[in-house]
A and B are shown apart, each in its own frame.
Chain A
Amino acid sequence: MAFGSPSVKDHKSSGFIKNDAGSSGNLKITNSDTYAVQPDPARHGKYLWKIWASGFTLLNPGTQITVTVQKVSAVLYQSGYAAAQLHAPVATYDNLKETIAASGSVTVRSLKEPGTTLRADNVVFYAATHKIVATGHVVYHNGKTQMEIHTNELVGDTVLKTLTSNTGGSAALPKGF
């Protein structure tokens, strides 16, 4: 499924900048009021993600669009509803991979599972499959069971309810018995 280009909205300047897929040229926007949205092709009026950031760098060499954003705050959607909130120093959107790759000290907070959070060096959000892959110093905390998991790589759904890891690690239950 091809998502096409995201819409970048800039309140301060022209108000709405649409980057046409296939056109060449780069676009750089530095404005604290700028945000981008990716419509969900399967759900009219719904989104796959929304990103607020201090600066956008939009590269558009042909069909591939890469958007790099700084000081990112994003809402990630799953099946049309807001599933998680992501914060990161830097993130890159790739329309061909249909991913948002966040790096630095990334935090993801589930909007469906209260108190459930994920911290990692890198987090990739796969918009098409609603999957999150976290790597590097991953710490997962479940708000319901209070379980805390430490690992190097973790794959989960966007609401951080279903997880799996093959890289080994440790888990702790503070409540124990």
Chain B
Amino acid sequence: MVPVQKLSIDYLRLLKPLFVAICVSCMGASACVRAAQEQTIGQISIVYKHFTYGGSSFTADGGVTVKSAHFNLNADSVVLELGDKTSTTGILKATAEGNPAKNLQVDGQFERGVEKQKQTFEFLADHAVYTPDPSRPSGGTVVFTGHVTMFVTAPDKLSGPSETHLKEATVTLGPSTDPAYPSIEGEDGQTVLTPLQRESK
């Protein structure tokens, strides 16, 4: 006969982590809601040659310029999937395409920092996809794919723009006042840069 061990369950001990988890979840959810409410509402302007607008999809083509406080983008065509009044973001997703027949790539420009420490990032790519991240203030990512070239200027660090060829580049957007944004991540890259020569005393 197999001895049966007496089982004793410490419910309080079990419930404690559950209680903590619930509290953390609530705090997290509250923070998410707060972040969404604190989200910077930045206007986006679009200059186009031709557009079609049906339901919640806006397609502009024939040469499009998109401007916002966070970036400038030029493309042959842009498709915006738009949210409604209840959405926390005006754009649910944006896709920009170049035009190989015209030898035209998507051109995205971002800035980080201010004045002398200002860095500019310019991306040339065949495609770009923007996805907002409502959990962070002004949050979102732009993923560039297809023959990606990144130029970075940093007058206090580089003697000229660096040139990087990448398979894919991801730009993470955040508040323009936060020097950590935009942050850049790249895959399979090759960079050529010339650091600024400091005069030795």
Contact with B along A154-169 (1 / 0, CB 8 A): 0000000111111011
Q: Is B99 an interface residue (CB 8 A)?
A: no
Q: Which of B72-101 contact A (CB under 8 A)?
A: 80, 82-85, 89-91
Picked from A146, A149, A168, A170, the residue with its CB within 8 Å of the CB of B85 is: A146
Q: Is B17 an interface residue (CB 8 A)?
A: no
CB–CB B83/A145 < 8 A:
yes
Picked from A144, A149, A166, A177, the residue with its CB within 8 Å of the CB of B91 is: A177
Q: Is B25 an interface residue (CB 8 A)?
A: no
Q: Is B53 an interface residue (CB 8 A)?
A: yes
Measured CB to CB, the nearest residue on chain A to B56 is A145
CB–CB A162/B85 < 8 A:
no
Interface residue tally on A, bucketed by range: 20 to 34
Interface residue tally on B, bucketed by range: 35 or more
Question: Which of B44-52, B109-117, B184-192 lies at the binding interface?
Answer: B44-52
Measured CB to CB, the nearest residue on chain A to B83 is A145
Contact with B along A11-44 (1 / 0, CB 8 A): 0000000000000000000000000000000000
Give the chain B neighbours of A168 by CB distance below 8 A: 47-50
Q: Measured between alpha carbons, how far is A172 from B80 in the docked complex, in Å?
A: 12
Measured between C-beta atoms, what is the minimum distance from A93 to chain B in Å?
A: 28
Q: Which of A123-157 contact B (CB under 8 A)?
A: 142, 144-147, 149
Contact with A along B114-156 (1 / 0, CB 8 A): 0000000000000000001000001110000000000000000
Contact with A along B33-65 (1 / 0, CB 8 A): 000000111111111111111111010100000
Give the chain B neighbours of A145 by CB distance below 8 A: 56, 58, 82-84, 90
Measured between C-beta atoms, what is the minimum distance from B38 to chain A in Å?
A: 12
Q: Measured between alpha carbons, how far is A145 from B6 in the docked complex, in Å?
A: 63
Give the chain B neighbours of A164 by CB distance below 8 A: 50-53
Q: Is B194 an interface residue (CB 8 A)?
A: no
Give the chain A neighbours of B91 by CB distance below 8 A: 173, 176-177
Q: Measured between alpha carbons, how far is A19 from B70 in the docked complex, in Å?
A: 61
Measured between C-beta atoms, what is the minimum distance from B126 to chain A in Å?
A: 24
Q: Is B183 an interface residue (CB 8 A)?
A: no
Binding site for B on A (CB under 8 A): 142, 144-147, 149, 161-166, 168-177
Q: 9 tightest CB-CB pairs across the interface, nearest first?
A: A175-B90, A176-B42, A145-B82, A171-B46, A163-B53, A162-B54, A173-B44, A164-B52, A173-B90
A-B contact pairs, 25 of them (CB 8 A): A144-B84, A144-B85, A145-B56, A145-B58, A145-B90, A147-B53, A162-B53, A163-B52, A168-B47, A169-B48, A169-B51, A170-B45, A171-B58, A172-B46, A173-B43, A173-B46, A174-B43, A175-B43, A175-B89, A176-B44, A177-B39, A177-B42, A177-B68, A177-B89, A177-B140
